[in-house]
Amino acid sequence: MIGAGNVAVHLSRAIQDKGNPVVQVYSRSETSAASLAGMLGAGYTTSLQELRRDAQLYIIALSDDAIPEILPALPLTEQLTVHTAGSIPMSIFEGKMHNYGVLYPLQSFSKKHPVDLSNIPVFLEANTPANLKTLQSIAGTIFSGVYELTSEKRLLLHVAAVFASNFTNSLYDIAAQLSEKAGLNFDLLKPLVMETARKAVASGSPAQVQTGPAKRNDRNVLHKHAELLAAWPQWKQLYLQLSENIKKT
Amino acid sequence: MIGAGNVAVHLSRAIQDKGNPVVQVYSRSETSAASLAGMLGAGYTTSLQELRRDAQLYIIALSDDAIPEILPALPLTEQLTVHTAGSIPMSIFEGKMHNYGVLYPLQSFSKKHPVDLSNIPVFLEANTPANLKTLQSIAGTIFSGVYELTSEKRLLLHVAAVFASNFTNSLYDIAAQLSEKAGLNFDLLKPLVMETARKAVASGSPAQVQTGPAKRNDRNVLHKHAELLAAWPQWKQLYLQLSENIKKT
């Protein structure tokens, strides 16, 4: 396991739980490497030169930024190596390795929050049918569904995930700040947050369950809200644009 | 119950379930009035002049647009009357009624989707302490929490709810459309949607669990995503603005 951050931790534990021992953890940070290796009962190193060469699979679970930096320093050529990044094409391995691919789990990982990978899908890509088969057989034991996806489509899926998860959370944050301005705790909004997610998930498509003043084109309410938000121009601009998007949809 | 739409249906059933019989339903649409009245075993009318005058409470559960239209025609002056709208101030009743208030349940209602009101908070306002007490005693049996809130703060809370619910759902919809462009069903994003909501709800505040390229200020990924979205200018603009908002936060 190359990396010891959120994705590395969740993935390592799930892989090992399913009977595939993680033999070694690499991280630049000795604390992180030792901590994850300790959890797994694995070895660890902070030197790429000390990577074991006998693993079945090398997983680079690093941020999109860090992957191109580490690749030239990896002492691997024949060993099957994958990264886990949504927005980095598989071609980044070209000319450097002979056996490579991508293993992209569609989930947002936080260290503190345990995630059950057996509920989430994973998207694979490999440079040969044999390597794809190896990845499929490992991933099949860990994830709820295993899908082959090209780099181009994976980038689209990553953008979709940013909208569905990162941006959604940032709207929760705006809502939390607005409710605080009304002297109310975000706790009071939590039933609404959960119900909105549940309803979209239960629906055929989120468009079918869209509600609110923009959907009804309720000009009075839209106008009042925009006026109220004049004190926070960035939120006002988002309010107008998101409303516009709903109206056009 | 004045109105027979989503809010009226959910509210009527919950009120009656808690031992407060709904005696009559009004709606302009006879089909809607008869359908809700049938569910409740109540009377119904499509004429405001035929409203019973002996109810303990009159609930105007209409859209924000419809409320100012119906008020002049209501043959009520002494009877306690409330509306359920987030963005209409209580003062709309001034000069027209003697006993009035607001009962704003913080939830997004859809006809098809049953909602358990005993999990959601309600925000009350009344023109006198005695009327507030009446509303509190009725609402206390139905909702998980009963809070007093001024019209001004209720408007803020309504805007917060639009961000937390309506806008969030519109981002799910963009994500669904993007994943379709990758040949993938929105079903595959559902675990991510639920996990994102769960994580925000489990957190002290959504800002603490914010992740993604904007949060990491990962310029490469942000640039790739913006380039990909060039084909859909409205989504690109939203992507840039939502990312900017996360960076500033």
H/E segment holding residue A202: helix A190-202
* B201 touches A: beta carbon within 8 Å: yes
Question: By CA distance, what is B197's nearest residue in A?
Answer: A194
Mutation for A interface: B67, B168, B238, most A CBs within 10 A: B168
A44/A137 same-domain check: yes
Residue of B nearest to A123 (CA): B188
Distance to chain B for A236, nearest Cα, Å = 10
Q: Closest Cα to residue A145, out of A160, A114, A123?
A: A123
**CA–CA min distance A37, chain B (Å):** 24
Length of chain B: 249
Q: Are residues B25 and B123 in the same domain?
A: yes
| pLDDT reported for residue B115 | 82
A153 touches chain B (CB under 8 A): yes
* Optimal mutation site among B125, B163, B198, interface A, most CBs of chain A within 10 A: B163
Q: Where are the beta strands (DSSP E) in chain A?
A: 24-26, 43-45, 58-60, 81-83, 100-105, 121-126, 145-148
Q: Which residue of A has its CA nearest to B225?
A: A159
The answer to whether residue B71 sits within a structural domain is yes
Residue A108 — pLDDT band, cuts 50, 70, 90?
A: confident
Q: How far apart are CA B22 and CA B8, in angstroms?
A: 11
Choose one of B119, B149, B179: the last residue of a domain: B149
- State whether B131 and B212 are in the same domain: no
Full residue range of the structural domain in which residue B72 is found:
6-149
Q: Among A193, A191, A159, which Cα is nearest to A175's?
A: A193
Average pLDDT over residues A61-89: 95
CB atoms B165 and A211 under 8 Å: yes
- Closest Cα of chain B to A98: distance in Å? 26
Q: How many residues does chain A have?
A: 249
* pLDDT over 80 at A114, yes or no: no
For A99, B89, B158, B184, B187, the CA distances from B176, given in Å and listed in that order, are 33, 36, 26, 9, 9
Are B109 and B194 in the same domain? no
pLDDT, position B191: 96
pLDDT at residue A64 in the model? 86
The minimal CB distance from B159 to the residues A106, A168, A225 is found for: A225
Within 8 A of B202 by CB-CB distance, chain A residues are 113
Q: Are A174 and B206 in contact (CB under 8 A)?
A: no
> CB of B245 within 8 A of CB of B203?
no
User: Does pLDDT of A111 surpass 90?
Assistant: no
Query: B17: how many CB neighbours lie within 10 A of its CB?
Result: 12
Give dist(CA B74, CA A236) in Å, integer: 36
- The CATH number linked to A99 is 3.40.50.720
Give mean pLDDT in consecutive 10-residue pieces for chain B, a chain of 249 residues.
95 93 97 97 97 97 92 96 97 97 92 83 98 96 96 98 98 98 97 96 93 92 97 97 96
A220 in the same domain as A136: no
Q: Which A-chain residues 60-119 have CB contacts (< 8 A) with chain B?
A: 63-65, 87, 106-110, 113, 115, 119
Helix (H, G, I), strand (E, B) or coil at A58: strand
In-domain check, residue A178? yes
Residues A27-43: tens digit of each pLDDT:
999 999 999 999 999 99
What stretches of chain B show up as alpha helix (H) in DSSP?
6-17, 30-40, 66-70, 129-139, 151-161, 168-181, 190-202, 213-216, 219-228, 233-248
Determine, yes or no, domain membership for A124.
Answer: yes
Question: Is residue B109 located within the same domain as residue B195?
Answer: no
Same domain, B52 and B164: no
From B94, B128, B149, give the residue that closes a domain: B149
Torsion A178-A184-A190-A192 (CA) sign: negative
| Residues B139, B199 share a domain | no
Confidence of residue A7 (pLDDT cuts 50, 70, 90): very high
- Chain B CB contacts of A237 below 8 Å: 241
**DSSP string covering B207-242, please?**
GGG--SHHHHT-HHHHHHHHHHGGGSHHHHHHHHHH
Check whether residue A104 and residue A174 sit in a common domain: no
For the four alpha carbons of A116, A121, A127 and A129, in that order, the dihedral sign comes to: positive
Residue corresponding to tokens 């339903």: B25
User: Measured between beta carbons, which residues in chain A are less than 8 angstroms from residue B242?
Assistant: 167, 170, 238
Does some domain include residue B65? yes
Name which of A110, A179, A210 is nearest B157 (Cβ-Cβ).
A179
| Angstrom distances, CA of residue A194 to CA of A123, A191, B120, B210 | 27, 5, 11, 17
Count of structural domains within chain A: 2
The complex's ipTM? 0.95
Question: Is there a domain that residue A1 lies in?
Answer: no
CA torsion sign, A244 to A249 to B5 to B7? Answer: negative
A164/B189 Cβ within 8 A: yes
CB contact under 8 A, A196 and B165: yes
Q: Is A112 in a helix, a strand, or coil?
A: coil
Q: φ and ψ at A121, to 5 degrees?
A: -85, 155
Of B94, B126, B149, the last residue of a domain is: B149
**Which secondary structure element, helix H or strand E, spans residue A139, and what is its range?**
helix A129-140
For residue B234, the distance in angstroms to the closest alpha carbon of chain A comes to: 7
On whether residue B1 sits in a domain, the answer given is no
Residue A191 belongs to a domain: yes
Sign, CA dihedral A33-A36-A42-A48, equals: negative
**Cβ partners under 8 Å of residue A95, min gap 6:** none
DSSP state, B109? -
* Residue B193 main-chain phi, psi, to 5 deg: -60, -50
Nearest neighbour of A192 by CB, restricted to B106, B156, B202: B106
Token pair 């490497």 is found at A33
B20/B142 same-domain check = yes
Q: Are residues A169 and A237 in the same domain?
A: yes
Regarding whether B163 and B142 lie in a shared domain, the answer is: no
User: Which pLDDT tens digit goes with each residue over A161-203?
Assistant: 999 999 999 999 999 999 999 999 999 999 999 999 999 999 9
Q: What is the pLDDT of residue B59?
A: 98
C-alpha distance from residue B2 to each of A180, A184, B89, B104 (Å):
32, 29, 18, 15
Question: Domain with A196 in it: what CATH number?
Answer: 1.10.1040.20
d(CA A200, CA B72): 38
Residue A233 belongs to a domain: yes
Q: Which of A107, A169, A221 sits opposite B64 (nearest CB)?
A: A221
